[in-house]
Amino acid sequence: MLKGADTLALLPTGGGKSVCFQVPALLLDGICIVITPLIALMKDQVSQLKQRGIEAVAIHSGMSRSQIDILLDNCIHGITKFLYVSPERLQTEIFIARVKQMKVGLIAVDEAHCISQWGYDFRPPYLQIALLREFAPHAPVIALTASATEIVCDDIQEKLAFRSGSALFKKSFARDNLSFVVRKSENKERKVLEILRKVKGSAIIYVRSRKATQEVAHALMKKKISATFYHAGLSFELRSKRQDEWIQNQVRVMVATNAFGMGIDKPDVRIVIHIDLPENLESYYQEAGRAGRDGQRAYAVVIYHDADVQNLQLKVDQAHPGPETLKKVYQALANFYQLAVGSGAGESFDFDLHEFTERFSYHTSDVYAALKKLEEEGLIQFNESFYSPSQLHIAVDKTKLYEFQVANGQFDPVIKMMLRLYGGELFSDFVKISETYLANGLKISPKEMIKILQHLDVLKIVNYQPVKEKPQLTFVLPRQDAASLPLNIARMAARKKLITEKMNAMIDFVKIQHRCRMQMIQDYFNEITFDSCGICDVCIEKRKNDNRRAFEELWNEVLSALKQEDKTVEELEDRIAPRDHELFVDVIREMVDDGVLEYDNAWRLKLMQQKE
């Protein structure tokens, strides 16, 4: 890449993708443009870079035109080294006009699988990235993804117009410390408790619905297991608080929807449990891969029963509404925001899903599916967990500001306090502020402070962006005539077929009981191997069958020890001192599954009373 070659890096979850472009970018002249759809991730990386004294900015939905204008100007005339931008922004006139004036040293494309319609998370705005190369013809491109099949890898390189001499770096999908396990159970709560008693340490439990996060977390807490829950509907402060508590091991178990985990670096997660079937192996591998990043033994467990398979099939079918439904929902959005045809391009709005569905008498699930499909078609961008703190920028130069202060004495104390607390950076950039902090300095209420800032904004002395944390809906293209909405019907049909095939591969993964699960994952990603992992449930079962005598001996030793008194798993293992820990754990599991043993309320193992 330092020699100017385009590069595709396929690095499974936890592989340190950001380092792959950040370090080369620092060595190259010019700015690095980073394209990513993950707003939370771009904010986090910008914050980390700034803490290291590296100038970085992010442009995404929810920002005003003036804010974007100033940030892009800084990328041309300032010392900004990294510009993070969501793919939807690449199409806007304001971005195209400014990028032509930038000295671009590197283009980094994160989540690069989004450019391929054969990928599980296709996003049409990614197709615009290749046009960016016309404005920066000498800048190499690095594309990064954690999960892509061979056809997707080929598609990424083609769609990004990779030049001859390009490089492909591919890390094995095998994780030699991660044990994949599938358990079929009608009593999922009991099975989760059993697993958490056996495997100590930090845990993530993934569920599909927001309601389930709360229900599962409360059920665990009733059993004296430290747990909390996380989903996109919680406030930013609450999400941050719960995330920090979990990262710092103040809380053991995080019960969450798939909104949780992206970009979080916690190496000591010992177990990831899915109690709802994921929609595809790509997303499952990413989520499961958050366990064991420290290299120590970790577990990824799927708990399912037959009804889950039917529910997943129904969910995938509902996730692909037809063209007429999309047109109706799009028209409703235009009415909701009172947008005329041809207006609204690039504009972001607060979006209340409940208010929208109530007004137009839609089912929440139908609207959600339609929004996601409209996003996939490149018409809108829908961000459920958006948060942006209050920000301030002085819109005039120092001379005009001084003249304003002299002419408007009532604002003089406020302006002086702003400059005292936040400094001269206010003139060149948007600065995060606290209205409460400013108000305390002036001995007024936060509400009064907000009114003053709003007044100064109207007077065009400052650009004031109040805090935002409601979901954001952005019109990527100008508002279209709903009757002739530009939908790619053939692609939509192909996408539904592809998603169905990916779903079936996920179902096969949990149902097949004769093949190493790690080998199945590697095969799915076109990594041919004849080696078994030796630590998944299938491999352990095979080892047990190959070593039936040792298994039966352990079984009898467990029976003998528990005839004397009930014991915890740890006490039992200390008493027996088995040579093979994994085999011992598997013996206990099978004895519980077969009804030979059971746990009491203190989680001691005891012999089941045989019915006469």
Rounded CA-CA distance 81/54 in Å is 7
Domain range enclosing 111: 7-170
Q: Is 527 domain-assigned?
A: no
Residue 2 has pLDDT above 70, yes or no: no
The torsion of the CA quartet 471, 477, 482, 486, rounded to 10 degrees, works out to -120
Give the domain CATH number at 292: 3.40.50.300
| Neighbouring residues of 52: CB distance < 8 A, sequence distance ≥ 6 | none
pLDDT tier at 611 (50, 70, 90 boundaries)?
A: very low
Phi, psi of 578 (to 5 degrees): -70, 150
Tell me: do 197 and 132 sit in the same domain. no
Residue 93's pLDDT band (cuts 50, 70, 90): confident
Residue 34 and residue 125 share a domain: yes
- 432 & 367 share domain: no
* Domain match, 282 and 186 both: yes
What is residue 79's predicted lDDT score, i.e. its pLDDT? 86
The pLDDT of residue 83 is above 80: yes
- In the chain, how many domains are there? 5
Among 11, 31, 23, CA closest to 52? 23
Above 70 in pLDDT, residue 190? Answer: yes
**Is 489 found in the same domain as 452?**
no
537, part of any domain = no
Are 47 and 152 members of one domain? yes
Residue by residue, DSSP assigns 10-25 as: E--TTS-HHHHHHHHH
CA-based R_g, the chain, Å = 27
d(CA 39, CA 61): 8
pTM of the model: 0.77
Distances from the Cα of 473 to the Cα of 349, 353, 368, 470, 512, angstroms: 5, 10, 12, 10, 41
Q: Over the stretch 100-137, which tens digit does the pLDDT of each residue have?
A: 999 999 999 999 999 998 888 888 889 989 988 988 88
How many Å from the N-terminal Cα to the C-terminal Cα in the chain? 74
What is the average pLDDT across 85-113? 90
Look up tokens 């930090």; give the residue: 202
**Does 353 share its domain with 327?**
yes
pLDDT in tens, 138-147: 999 999 998 8
The secondary structure element, H or E, covering residue 183 is: strand 178-184
One domain, residues 340 and 477: yes
Structure-token pair, residue 63? 């920002």
Q: Which pLDDT value is given to residue 263?
A: 66
